[in-house]
Structure 1
Amino acid sequence: MGSVNLFGPVTGGYLAYVVSIAARFAFCVITQMFFSRYAASGRATAVQSFGLGWIFVHLGDFLGVVVVVLVQAGLAASTIALDQVAAVSIAVLVVATMFVLNRKSFSLEARSDNAETSDIEDAHMVERGRQEDEDELGSRIRLLAADQGLTPRETEVLGLLARGRSIPYVRDALFISKETAATHAKHIYAKLGVHSRQELIDLVH
């Protein structure tokens, strides 16, 4: 409304449209940034995280429609002003942006060179320890797979299951159907003599 008053109905209308599209694009980017951290943590595959991101984007669209209906009712009753709605919307977007960008993985906070160096060294130590554990686990998996006569694909599935991954995760990670992943898991359980994923994890570890 302010852009229409300032620039006229035509130019102002175009500006308002551009601003609304930019705001929705920003919301999509913020949402996907947040869920990319979810995938990076190992709790979901990139495909699952991407899907969750768009679910929340569409949920935001739905809530936006609800808010528009409520705002229109408030404007008609003169209980709220359009300027107030704009101010609150901007504040919500800014707070959401700060929440995502201030997370550890997207931290923009300036730190001293010593602190950055220490963080890098700590990260390298953690990564080395993780790599050593991963190499040891990988060796045990390959040894077990060879002893029990697992196929190369079953060995891949075993590696994921032994790390606590779910069947949907295996499906997305190996680009196979859920039924195929479940069948591989069933064959692995039979060959290893286990009856659950926890028993498999205990056996490998």
Structure 2
Amino acid sequence: MIGRRRRGIAFWLLLLAWPGFVVVARAAPRTIAVSPDNTDIGFRLYLFGFVPLDGHFTRFVGSLTVDPADSGHCSVTVRVDTASLVMPNKEALKIALGADFLDAVDFPTLAYDGACRAIQGAPPRLEGVLVMRGRTGPLAFSLQPGAAAFVVSAVLHRAAWGMGAHPLLAGDTIRLRVTTRLLPSAREAAH
């Protein structure tokens, strides 16, 4: 009995020492605070269909839970202060925050809650619910998994969210992109 046990232990030790044999431990899901320190929540629309106009938000809170071993498993929750929008043009910013678009006075918060969904034969998607301008509806993001950042992008149709003003000027689509850094920056790593 003891001889078998020693041979069994010796077998496993030999196998572990064998070149090329790797034991991979499954990483546990990790929850990251989503904040302006590690995340960019931005968008782009095209004026007259071809002139890009970008904006991003500077005040928001949330959390992101990711499984480093499986990009198809994640969850996210984010609350954005609508009035924290920054755009390069002051007139465009005034219009974007006004009643015809984001209506920051009556709807001071944007909210998103979602989870990743693995799709057979396709990249996983982040599917969830957006609350904006007093409306609630589904919004799916394409997921671009990576070790350094969690990047999602989506196309939002303005008219579906009650922002149909100035269709020739601003078009109907807004391209959303959210990037959350998963690895600490050089400054954070030094502390």
Which structure: greater strand fraction?
2
Greater relative contact order (CA < 8 Å, ≥ 6 in sequence): 2
* Fold shared, TM-score > 0.5 on shorter chain: no
Give the alignment's TM-score, normalised by structure 2: 0.25
Which protein is bigger by CA-based radius of gyration?
1
Give the alignment's TM-score, normalised by structure 1: 0.24
Which structure: greater helix fraction?
1
